[in-house]
Amino acid sequence: MSSFSRRDWMKASAAALGGAALGSVRRAAALPAEWDGEAAARALEPAAGGAVRPRIPDDLSTPYVGDRPPRVHTPNGSSITGRRADDGAWVYHLVAEEVQHEFAPGLTATCWGYNGQVHGPTFEAVEGDTVRVYVTNRLPVATTVHWHGFFLPNGMDGVGGLNQPVIPPGETFVYTFPIRQNGTFMYHSHHDEMTQIALGLTGMFVVHPNTRGEIPEVDRDFAIMLHEWAVDPGTSRPDPNEMSDFNVLTMNARAFPGTDPLVVGHMDRVRLRFGNLSPMDHHPIHLHGHYWKIVGTDGGRIPEAGQWPETTVLVPVGSTRTVEFTADALGDWAMHCHMTHHVMNQMGHEFPNMVGVDAAKLDREVRPLVPGYMTMGQVGGDDMGAHVEMGHMPVPENSIPMVGAAGPFGYITMGGMYTNMLVRPRPVDYDRFPGWYEHPPGTVAHAVSAEVAARDGVRV
Ligand SMILES: [Cu+2]
């Protein structure tokens, strides 16, 4: 399957109209009657047949390297907080290198990252620090690092050829600059950006104010880098030449069901710092059940008079957006890019349009030739992930189904740039999955009989 592109796979599976369940044994009419979402979610390994189950890790804390504990939580990532040198400067070390990176269980690719991870660790520093960042290049090609949004000496700005010679493979350069601002910034390669950013050479850079009270105190402070990748099923590297057809959409380089949930306490003050270094797309990130205020960009803090309530924040390419809110609603709340093709995984963007087609006759005729044949897509895409999950439908090697993960009520038909914010009564162990929300009796949407509906004058 290694030379199989996504398009080829779609064509092949759609060859007899609509995508067959090749080699499937029985038709999947519905979800299992007893759906144990938590048990399903706790199964960390891909199920037989390449199906994907959500990853719910035991430990949601942020690992870090440095002399200061991290103050920002980077889901699926880590922080680098600096080591104090004798002259008072804060020293960091980045190693640019090739990394085997897992986007979600079942989908791994050879990417470029820093310090063994994709994206690089979240830098944390304090306004007034002088930082000294050593950058070692273990890539097969030259690179540089640009400190996105920083006011710094021109020779530290990192544009290869313009501000500095490029860092050749095997060499280490040092960047030194005083930090004169606070807020949410980024860092990324500024040499052959099309290739190097496409392969993952980016990271977040958070600067805390040096005076207490300059920005509001929060209970939870998250950093989330948005990105998009082109990884054809069966291939092992993101394609840097892709200009529009991105099929892996990520938060901190993970695609749902690979994204760690955000655990917060009821009435916690929450700050979310989004960065976007996707090659080509802006991402409108939407949180359910709450509103937030957009309080900052990579240009600085927005004065309070300029903050307005929103439930979606557009994070343009090459920008950061910081939002703050009070988590005042208990529950499991979806947070995701609102571009519908950005909440799908690899295989789902190029199906022939089968919506509304009655394929029962076709299925009957094809089944003697292809046992278990089943046309898909007549009701949209929601069936595909579940079929793969149940082992009824194979997927190409090193790929994940269009959408999907096991949830507490059934199959969650979301993928890609999607995660869940879990709001729980305090006190909360932020570093552990708290289990799915237990709804108070009578507060979950449910089926009704015609008789019940009729009481409200609704005929069904
Ligand atoms: Cu998006």
Cα 321 to middle of ligand 1, angstroms: 14
pLDDT of residue 407: 86
3-class DSSP state of 37 = helix
Phi/psi at 369 (nearest 5 deg)? -85, -40
Cα 302 to middle of ligand 1, angstroms: 24
Cα–Cα distance for residue pair 39/408, rounded to 1 Å: 9
Cα–Cα distance for residue pair 310/312, rounded to 1 Å: 6
Cα 276 to middle of ligand 1, angstroms: 10
Cα 151 to middle of ligand 1, angstroms: 29
Cα 135 to middle of ligand 1, angstroms: 31
Cα–Cα distance for residue pair 247/238, rounded to 1 Å: 10
Angle at alpha carbon of residue 192, lines to 191 and 194, rounded to 5°: 130
pLDDT of residue 15: 31
Cα 417 to middle of ligand 1, angstroms: 7
Cα 306 to middle of ligand 1, angstroms: 25
Residues at Cβ < 5 Å from ligand 1 ion: 283, 337, 339, 342
Q: What is the pLDDT along the chain (460 residues), one digit of tens a residue?
A: 233 333 332 333 333 223 323 222 222 333 334 545 555 444 433 333 333 444 556 789 999 999 999 999 999 999 999 999 999 999 999 999 999 999 988 889 999 999 999 999 999 999 999 999 999 999 999 999 999 999 999 999 999 999 999 999 999 999 999 999 999 999 999 999 999 999 999 999 999 999 988 999 999 999 999 999 999 888 889 999 999 889 999 999 999 989 999 999 999 999 999 999 999 999 999 999 999 999 999 999 999 999 999 999 999 999 999 999 999 999 999 999 999 989 988 765 555 566 666 767 767 776 777 665 555 555 555 555 555 555 555 566 667 765 667 788 888 888 999 999 999 999 999 999 999 999 999 999 999 999 999 999 999 9
Cα 277 to middle of ligand 1, angstroms: 12
Cα 282 to middle of ligand 1, angstroms: 6
Contact 70, 79 (CB under 8 A): yes
